[in-house]
Amino acid sequence: MHVHIDADLHAMLAQIRERQQDVVRVGRRIGGGGSGGGGLTPSEVFLDPAVPSSISRSIDAPFSFLIEFTTGADVTTTQFVFTANDGTANNRFLVYVSGGNVRVQVRQGGANRADFVAGAVTGNTTHKVAIRTDTNNHGASLDGATVVTATGVVWAAGVLNDSYLFGANTVGEASFTGTIARVAEYETKALDDATLISLSS
Protein backbone atom coordinates (compact mmCIF):
# COMPACT_ATOMS: atom_id res chain seq x y z
CA MET A 1 0.00 0.00 0.00
CA HIS A 2 1.29 3.46 -0.87
CA VAL A 3 0.52 6.21 1.62
CA HIS A 4 -0.36 9.51 -0.01
CA ILE A 5 0.84 12.52 1.96
CA ASP A 6 -1.69 15.29 1.46
CA ALA A 7 -1.18 19.03 1.87
CA ASP A 8 -2.09 19.01 5.55
CA LEU A 9 0.40 16.27 6.33
CA HIS A 10 3.07 17.98 4.23
CA ALA A 11 2.62 21.17 6.25
CA MET A 12 2.70 19.19 9.48
CA LEU A 13 5.94 17.48 8.48
CA ALA A 14 7.56 20.80 7.66
CA GLN A 15 6.49 22.18 11.01
CA ILE A 16 7.88 19.20 12.87
CA ARG A 17 11.18 19.38 11.00
CA GLU A 18 11.52 22.95 12.22
CA ARG A 19 11.28 21.58 15.75
CA GLN A 20 14.13 19.22 14.80
CA GLN A 21 12.21 16.13 15.82
CA ASP A 22 12.64 12.80 14.08
CA VAL A 23 9.33 11.82 12.55
CA VAL A 24 9.65 8.35 11.12
CA ARG A 25 6.15 7.19 10.35
CA VAL A 26 3.16 9.26 9.30
CA GLY A 27 -0.43 8.23 8.77
CA ARG A 28 -2.78 9.73 6.24
CA ARG A 29 -6.15 11.45 6.36
CA ILE A 30 -8.79 8.73 6.53
CA GLY A 31 -12.45 8.40 7.39
CA GLY A 32 -13.53 6.69 10.59
CA GLY A 33 -14.55 3.06 10.54
CA GLY A 34 -18.19 3.76 11.28
CA SER A 35 -20.66 0.91 11.18
CA GLY A 36 -18.93 -2.15 9.83
CA GLY A 37 -15.63 -0.32 9.31
CA GLY A 38 -12.40 -2.27 9.23
CA GLY A 39 -9.71 0.34 9.81
CA LEU A 40 -6.46 0.76 7.91
CA THR A 41 -3.42 -1.43 8.46
CA PRO A 42 -0.22 -0.09 6.85
CA SER A 43 1.88 -3.08 7.94
CA GLU A 44 4.67 -2.24 5.51
CA VAL A 45 6.15 0.11 8.13
CA PHE A 46 7.39 -3.02 9.89
CA LEU A 47 9.08 -4.63 6.89
CA ASP A 48 12.84 -4.85 6.74
CA PRO A 49 13.92 -2.65 3.78
CA ALA A 50 16.73 -5.09 3.00
CA VAL A 51 14.41 -8.10 3.06
CA PRO A 52 10.92 -6.79 2.17
CA SER A 53 9.24 -10.12 2.92
CA SER A 54 10.56 -10.12 6.48
CA ILE A 55 8.69 -8.44 9.34
CA SER A 56 11.70 -7.67 11.49
CA ARG A 57 11.15 -4.10 12.60
CA SER A 58 9.27 -3.20 15.75
CA ILE A 59 8.07 -0.26 17.83
CA ASP A 60 10.35 -0.25 20.86
CA ALA A 61 10.00 2.08 23.83
CA PRO A 62 10.66 4.87 24.38
CA PHE A 63 8.50 6.50 21.73
CA SER A 64 6.00 9.34 21.41
CA PHE A 65 3.03 10.07 19.17
CA LEU A 66 1.03 13.08 18.03
CA ILE A 67 -2.51 12.28 16.87
CA GLU A 68 -5.03 14.77 15.52
CA PHE A 69 -8.59 13.53 15.13
CA THR A 70 -12.18 14.71 14.94
CA THR A 71 -14.75 12.84 16.96
CA GLY A 72 -18.11 11.68 15.67
CA ALA A 73 -21.33 12.48 17.48
CA ASP A 74 -20.86 9.47 19.79
CA VAL A 75 -18.03 9.81 22.31
CA THR A 76 -19.49 7.38 24.86
CA THR A 77 -19.09 4.04 23.10
CA THR A 78 -15.57 2.56 23.15
CA GLN A 79 -13.88 3.36 19.83
CA PHE A 80 -10.26 2.65 18.84
CA VAL A 81 -8.54 5.65 17.28
CA PHE A 82 -5.05 4.19 16.89
CA THR A 83 -3.20 1.09 18.02
CA ALA A 84 0.16 -0.58 17.46
CA ASN A 85 0.29 -4.26 18.33
CA ASP A 86 1.81 -7.71 17.96
CA GLY A 87 -1.15 -9.02 15.98
CA THR A 88 -3.10 -9.83 19.15
CA ALA A 89 -4.63 -7.94 22.07
CA ASN A 90 -1.89 -9.21 24.40
CA ASN A 91 0.68 -6.53 23.65
CA ARG A 92 -0.39 -3.17 22.32
CA PHE A 93 -0.25 0.61 22.53
CA LEU A 94 -3.76 1.99 22.18
CA VAL A 95 -5.42 5.40 21.96
CA TYR A 96 -9.19 5.21 22.22
CA VAL A 97 -12.36 7.16 22.96
CA SER A 98 -14.67 5.89 25.69
CA GLY A 99 -17.08 7.43 28.18
CA GLY A 100 -16.53 10.95 26.89
CA ASN A 101 -12.75 10.74 27.28
CA VAL A 102 -9.72 9.98 25.18
CA ARG A 103 -7.72 7.25 26.90
CA VAL A 104 -4.27 5.70 26.51
CA GLN A 105 -3.66 2.02 27.17
CA VAL A 106 -0.38 0.13 27.43
CA ARG A 107 -0.97 -3.62 27.45
CA GLN A 108 1.85 -6.12 28.00
CA GLY A 109 1.69 -9.88 28.43
CA GLY A 110 -2.10 -9.93 28.33
CA ALA A 111 -2.51 -7.40 31.16
CA ASN A 112 -3.11 -3.66 31.23
CA ARG A 113 0.04 -2.00 32.60
CA ALA A 114 -1.30 1.54 32.14
CA ASP A 115 -4.78 2.69 31.15
CA PHE A 116 -5.43 6.34 31.85
CA VAL A 117 -7.59 9.29 30.81
CA ALA A 118 -5.78 11.91 28.75
CA GLY A 119 -8.75 14.28 28.88
CA ALA A 120 -12.41 14.81 28.05
CA VAL A 121 -13.64 15.05 24.46
CA THR A 122 -16.88 16.28 22.93
CA GLY A 123 -18.72 15.12 19.85
CA ASN A 124 -17.93 16.44 16.37
CA THR A 125 -14.87 18.30 17.65
CA THR A 126 -11.23 18.28 16.54
CA HIS A 127 -8.68 17.34 19.19
CA LYS A 128 -4.92 16.81 19.33
CA VAL A 129 -3.26 14.45 21.79
CA ALA A 130 0.49 14.09 22.27
CA ILE A 131 1.66 10.97 24.10
CA ARG A 132 4.90 9.47 25.37
CA THR A 133 5.50 5.87 26.41
CA ASP A 134 8.38 4.39 28.35
CA THR A 135 8.68 2.10 31.36
CA ASN A 136 7.01 3.88 34.30
CA ASN A 137 6.98 7.11 32.28
CA HIS A 138 3.73 7.43 30.34
CA GLY A 139 2.20 10.83 29.71
CA ALA A 140 -0.37 12.57 27.53
CA SER A 141 -1.47 16.13 26.82
CA LEU A 142 -4.82 16.75 25.15
CA ASP A 143 -5.32 20.09 23.39
CA GLY A 144 -2.46 21.76 25.24
CA ALA A 145 -3.61 20.78 28.73
CA THR A 146 -1.33 19.79 31.61
CA VAL A 147 0.26 16.39 31.03
CA VAL A 148 -1.48 13.44 32.69
CA THR A 149 1.01 10.78 33.76
CA ALA A 150 0.93 7.09 34.61
CA THR A 151 3.35 4.32 35.51
CA GLY A 152 3.59 0.79 34.14
CA VAL A 153 6.00 -1.51 32.34
CA VAL A 154 6.21 -1.86 28.57
CA TRP A 155 7.01 -4.65 26.15
CA ALA A 156 10.36 -6.25 25.51
CA ALA A 157 12.17 -5.03 22.41
CA GLY A 158 10.91 -6.59 19.21
CA VAL A 159 7.41 -7.45 20.45
CA LEU A 160 5.30 -4.78 18.69
CA ASN A 161 6.17 -5.86 15.17
CA ASP A 162 2.89 -6.56 13.43
CA SER A 163 0.81 -3.54 12.47
CA TYR A 164 -0.60 -0.12 13.01
CA LEU A 165 -4.39 0.02 13.06
CA PHE A 166 -6.33 3.20 12.40
CA GLY A 167 -9.98 3.41 13.45
CA ALA A 168 -10.61 -0.20 14.55
CA ASN A 169 -9.22 -3.10 16.58
CA THR A 170 -7.48 -6.23 15.27
CA VAL A 171 -10.75 -7.87 14.20
CA GLY A 172 -12.36 -4.77 12.71
CA GLU A 173 -14.50 -3.91 15.71
CA ALA A 174 -14.64 -0.92 18.10
CA SER A 175 -14.76 1.27 15.00
CA PHE A 176 -13.98 4.97 15.36
CA THR A 177 -16.89 7.08 14.11
CA GLY A 178 -14.86 10.24 13.53
CA THR A 179 -11.90 11.01 11.26
CA ILE A 180 -8.14 10.92 11.76
CA ALA A 181 -6.21 13.85 10.30
CA ARG A 182 -2.64 13.03 11.26
CA VAL A 183 -0.49 10.55 13.14
CA ALA A 184 3.22 11.14 13.71
CA GLU A 185 5.64 8.97 15.63
CA TYR A 186 8.79 10.26 17.35
CA GLU A 187 10.90 7.12 17.47
CA THR A 188 13.15 6.49 20.50
CA LYS A 189 11.94 9.70 22.15
CA ALA A 190 10.01 10.05 25.41
CA LEU A 191 9.11 13.70 24.86
CA ASP A 192 9.07 15.89 27.94
CA ASP A 193 5.95 17.57 29.32
CA ALA A 194 6.64 20.93 27.70
CA THR A 195 7.02 19.36 24.26
CA LEU A 196 3.85 17.29 24.61
CA ILE A 197 1.91 20.42 25.56
CA SER A 198 3.39 22.38 22.66
CA LEU A 199 2.59 19.68 20.11
CA SER A 200 -1.01 19.25 21.25
CA SER A 201 -1.77 22.98 21.45
Over the stretch 53-100, which tens digit does the pLDDT of each residue have? 666 677 889 999 999 999 999 999 999 999 888 888 899 999 999 999
Closest Cα to residue 79, out of 134, 109, 132, 123? 123
**Structure confidence at residue 199 (pLDDT):** 95
**Structure confidence at residue 56 (pLDDT):** 62
**Structure confidence at residue 96 (pLDDT):** 97
**Structure confidence at residue 25 (pLDDT):** 36
The residue extents of the domains of the chain are 7-200
User: Which CATH number describes the domain made up of 7-200?
Assistant: 2.60.120.200
**Structure confidence at residue 7 (pLDDT):** 55
Residue type, 20: Q
**Structure confidence at residue 30 (pLDDT):** 34
**Residue 57: exposed, middle, or buried by beta-carbon count in 10 A (0-12, 13-18, 19+)?**
middle
**Structure confidence at residue 55 (pLDDT):** 60
The Cα angle at residue 52 between residues 47 and 58, in degrees rounded to 5: 15
pLDDT < 70 positions in the chain? 1-56
- The pTM of this model reads 0.76
Is the C-alpha dihedral spanning 109, 118, 138, 171 positive or negative? positive
